[in-house]
Every structure is written in structure tokens, then in C-alpha cells.
């Protein structure tokens, strides 16, 4: 990412626009990503959407390394995020962020191009008033790549054309100039630049698709090529048989290798010898004996192995504080209705170990 040289006033203007448009944003934590949107700017406090029952998600976000990504005009911006706590705007609960001092943008020369667009038919009108039907190959906020369904098209570099692109989120009616031409495809630049009513939904759509793609494939992977995350070994420490069975299924479904240990020192010592890539410690209650036992077991886990503290029948705030004390990488209260959050958090922790982009949390969180 390339740092953008902007003044404090310019940065504030960007967030004013983002809040006014209720633009999409992505929280990027070390192990998980959350989708949200901007709501309101008050002094130096940025309010973003937060729905009911956000305690666990908020505790997951309370990491030392959090960033936000969001679309802005023709680019995608990123900034470090400092969460101030919960707020309120128009009677709706929000999450408050401190105004970032710096903004970064992807350092590519060209706008990001989305090439998984589906079957989209584009209609062109040439300078000779010929109507041509083409297929959309990729699209960005500044242009598109097209393929002629009927073979060679009667256009040349520098030609000005009119085009209509019927996307799901917006139909783009615009002029364009042919910039690149080959036997089977040609590239165009939108001219003039797209106005806000077309640019905003297009930028938001491309941004979301880009983030979805990052969550499906690890960095450097390609479709059909297994990533190292498939070999991730996860050790679950619990005496709860139902929880063990549920976690086993969730993790095997994600192609992770599952190990189990009873919550005692002898069993944990044996399973740690298998060198798991992460450990899930289950705290079954907030009783003093349970906490003391888990504290002892947490101390046995090597410092280079990330731990997830999974709690039942315990307040999420207290669980978070215990996790910090026991150097857990993250803490989450377990509930069957929120199983997907735990699943994706585990996948994110394993991916962090191997490298690659973290997965996206469920949209309802």
C-alpha cells in the first residue's frame, strides 16, 4: 500500500463523503474481516454500523492491529483503525472510530479490474453508428475489457464509442475511447469519467467482489490449487463431547486437521507433541477451579502457537480480559447459533500462520 499525502482537512473530507454515502467498509483484523458501512461523522469520531448482539464481534475487533478498507471514487483506500467504543446516532447503536491520521491506497498504476463478472452482454455503438454486441471480460472504475461475440469488430484504437453495460448493481450508459485492440478483445476507457450515480455503485460492487475473492483464496493461490491452509492442524482442548463433535465437523469441513485433548496436563502434553498450528482452549464456566485449570493449560502452549479462548457460560467482557492475561490471540463466547463466526475465526488464525488473506465474517455480524 502506498501512503497518500493528504492534509488533515482532506482526510476529514474523504470520511465526510463516505459517511454521507453510507459507503461500505471492511474491518481487517489479524484473523478475520468484518463488513460494515459508514453512518455518521461527529467531530473526530467516525460512526459505523453495528447491529444488536455485537459483544463477541466487538471483542474480536479489539485487537492491536486493525485496519479499515473502503472504496473512494476510483480507488480503494486503507487506514489504521482505533476503536473508541460503542456510540449512538439517530437512536441506532454504532461503533465509534477515531479519525485516522494517514490513508493508504493500492500502489498499482491502474484501477483494480474485476474479471469474474459472469455472463454480461454489452451493447456498443461505433463512430459509424454500427451496433455491436460484445461480452464483458473485466471492468474497473475507469474502463473495461470486451470480447466480440461475432469475431473481429470494425473499430480501431482511438475510436470513440457509446456503450451500455447492464450490471446487477447499476446499468452504465457512457461514452468510451478504444485504448487497446487485439484479434479477440479490446479495452476501453470511460470518457468522460463516470458520474457519481454510476461510479458509486460500481466502485462498491467491485470492492465487495475483490474482498470476497481474497477470503476464498489465500495469497499466491490459484483456483484448483490447494493452499497450505488445508494442512493446518488444530488442537481442541475440552471435556464437552457435544462441543468437540461440533468443532470437529466445522473444522474438517474447512479441510483442517483436527486433534482433541482432555483438559489435563498429561493429555495436553501428548497432543502438543504433534505440533499443532493453533490451539482452542475451552473454558466451560466462570468458576474459579475452571479458570485456574485453564490458566495452567494455557501456560503449557508454546508462545509461537496462537490460542483461541472459547468460553461458555461466561461474560464476553470477562472472557476477553482472561484471554489477554493468558496471552490468547483471540477470545470468543461459544453459542451454536454463532458457529460460523468461530469457524471463520479459526480459519483466519490458521491462515495467519501460513500467510494469506483472512476470511470474511458472516454479514449478520
- Write down the domain spans for the chain: 2-105, 121-194, 228-354
Smallest Cα–Cα separation from 23: which of 39, 10, 11? Answer: 39
pLDDT class of 219 with cuts at 50, 70, 90: very low
d(CA 198, CA 171): 8
Task: Answer whether 0.75 is exceeded by the pTM.
Answer: no
Residue 57 belongs to what H/E stretch?
helix 55-61
Residues 36-62: tens digit of each pLDDT: 899 999 988 999 987 645 555 566 666
Residues 240-280: tens digit of each pLDDT: 999 999 999 988 887 888 999 999 999 999 999 999 989 99
For the chain, the C-alpha Rg in angstroms (whole number) is: 24
User: How deeply is 248 buried, as exposed, middle or buried, from its count of CB atoms within 10 A (0-12, 13-18, 19+)?
Assistant: middle
| pLDDT above 90 for 287 | yes
Better-predicted residue by pLDDT, 225 or 154: 154
pLDDT class of 171 with cuts at 50, 70, 90: very high
Beta bridge partners of 76: 71
Cell numbers given for 233:
492442524
d(CA 143, CA 195): 13
Q: What does the pLDDT read at residue 202?
A: 93
Q: What does the pLDDT read at residue 128?
A: 87
Residues 313-322: tens digit of each pLDDT: 888 889 989 9
In b/e form, how buried is each residue of 186-220, taking b as 16+ CB within 10 angstroms? bbbebeeebeeebbbbbbbbbbbebbeebbeebee
Smallest Cα–Cα separation from 80: which of 46, 117, 111? Answer: 46
Q: What does the pLDDT read at residue 269?
A: 94
Residue 289 belongs to what H/E stretch?
helix 288-300
| pLDDT above 60 for 95 | yes
Distances (CA, A) of 47 to 57, 62, 94, 99, 324: 16, 16, 6, 10, 26
Q: What does the pLDDT read at residue 9?
A: 92
Strand bridging mode 45-49 / 83-89 = unpaired
Q: What does the pLDDT read at residue 187?
A: 92
Better-predicted residue by pLDDT, 86 or 16: 16
Quote the CATH superfamily of domain 2-105.
Answer: Electron Transport, Fmn-binding Protein; Chain A (2.30.110.10)
* CATH T-level topology, domain 121-194: Thrombin, subunit H (2.40.10)
| pLDDT above 60 for 289 | yes
| pLDDT above 70 for 147 | yes
Better-predicted residue by pLDDT, 364 or 127: 127
Residues 185-199: tens digit of each pLDDT: 899 999 999 999 999
Mean pLDDT for the chain?
A: 84
Place of cell 466462570: 286
Q: What does the pLDDT read at residue 301?
A: 95
Contacts of 69 (CB under 8 A, 6+ apart): 25, 26, 28, 76, 77, 78, 207, 211
Better-predicted residue by pLDDT, 111 or 21: 21
d(CA 173, CA 250): 45
**Does residue 74 contact residue 142 with C-beta atoms inside 8 Å?**
yes
Q: What does the pLDDT read at residue 228?
A: 40
Quote the CATH superfamily of domain 228-354.
Answer: Response regulator (3.40.50.2300)
E-strand ranges in 301-364 read 307-311, 330-333
Look at the chain and count its residues.
365
d(CA 69, CA 14): 13
Amino acid at each position: 500500500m502506498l501512503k497518500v499525502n493528504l492534509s488533515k482537512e482532506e482526510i476529514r473530507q474523504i470520511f465526510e463523503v463516505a459517511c454521507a454515502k453510507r459507503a461500505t467498509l471492511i474491518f481487517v483484523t489479524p484473523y478475520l474481516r468484518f463488513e460494515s458501512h459508514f453512518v455518521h461523522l461527529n467531530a473526530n469520531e467516525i460512526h459505523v454500523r453495528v447491529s444488536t448482539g455485537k459483544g463477541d464481534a466487538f471483542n474480536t475487533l479489539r485487537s492491536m492491529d486493525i485496519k479499515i478498507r473502503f472504496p473512494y471514487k476510483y480507488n480503494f483506500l486503507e487506514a489504521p483503525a482505533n476503536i473508541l467504543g460503542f456510540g449512538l446516532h439517530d437512536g441506532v447503536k454504532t461503533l465509534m472510530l477515531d479519525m485516522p491520521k494517514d490513508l493508504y491506497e493500492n500502489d498499482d498504476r491502474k484501477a483494480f479490474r474485476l474479471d469474474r463478472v459472469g455472463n454480461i452482454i454489452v451493447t456498443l455503438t461505433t463512430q459509424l453508428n454500427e451496433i455491436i454486441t460484445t461480452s464483458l471480460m473485466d471492468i474497473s472504475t475507469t474502463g473495461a475489457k470486451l470480447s466480440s461475440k461475432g469475431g473481429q469488430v470494425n473499430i480501431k484504437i482511438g475510436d470513440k464509442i457509446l456503450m451500455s453495460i447492464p450490471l446487477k448493481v447499476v446499468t452504465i450508459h457512457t461514452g468510451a475511447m478504444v485504448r487497446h485492440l487485439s484479434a479477440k478483445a479490446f479495452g476501453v476507457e470511460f470518457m468522460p469519467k463516470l458520474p457519481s450515480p454510476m461510479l458509486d455503485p460500481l466502485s462498491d460492487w467491485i470492492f465487495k467482489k475483490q474482498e470476497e475473492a481474497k477470503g476464498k483464496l489465500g495469497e499466491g493461490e490459484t483456483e484448483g490449487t490447494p493452499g497450505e491452509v488445508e494442512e493446518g492442524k488444530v488442537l481442541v482442548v475440552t471435556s464437552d463431547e457435544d462441543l468437540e463433535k461440533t468443532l470437529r465437523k466445522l473444522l474438517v469441513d474447512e479441510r483442517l486437521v483436527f486433534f482433541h485433548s482432555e483438559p489435563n496436563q498429561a493429555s495436553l502434553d501428548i497432543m502438543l507433541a504433534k505440533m499443532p498450528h493453533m490451539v482452542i482452549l475451552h473454558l466451560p464456566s466462570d468458576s474459579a477451579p475452571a479458570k485456574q485449570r485453564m490458566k495452567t493449560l494455557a501456560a503449557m502452549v508454546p508462545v509461537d502457537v496462537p490460542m483461541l479462548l472459547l468460553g461458555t457460560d461466561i461474560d464476553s467482557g470477562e472472557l476477553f480480559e482472561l484471554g489477554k492475561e493468558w496471552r490468547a490471540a483471540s477470545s470468543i463466547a461459544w453459542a451454536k447459533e454463532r458457529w460460523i463466526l468461530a469457524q471463520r475465526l479459526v480459519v483466519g488464525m490458521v491462515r495467519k500462520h501460513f500467510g494469506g488473506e483472512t476470511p470474511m465474517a458472516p454479514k449478520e455480524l
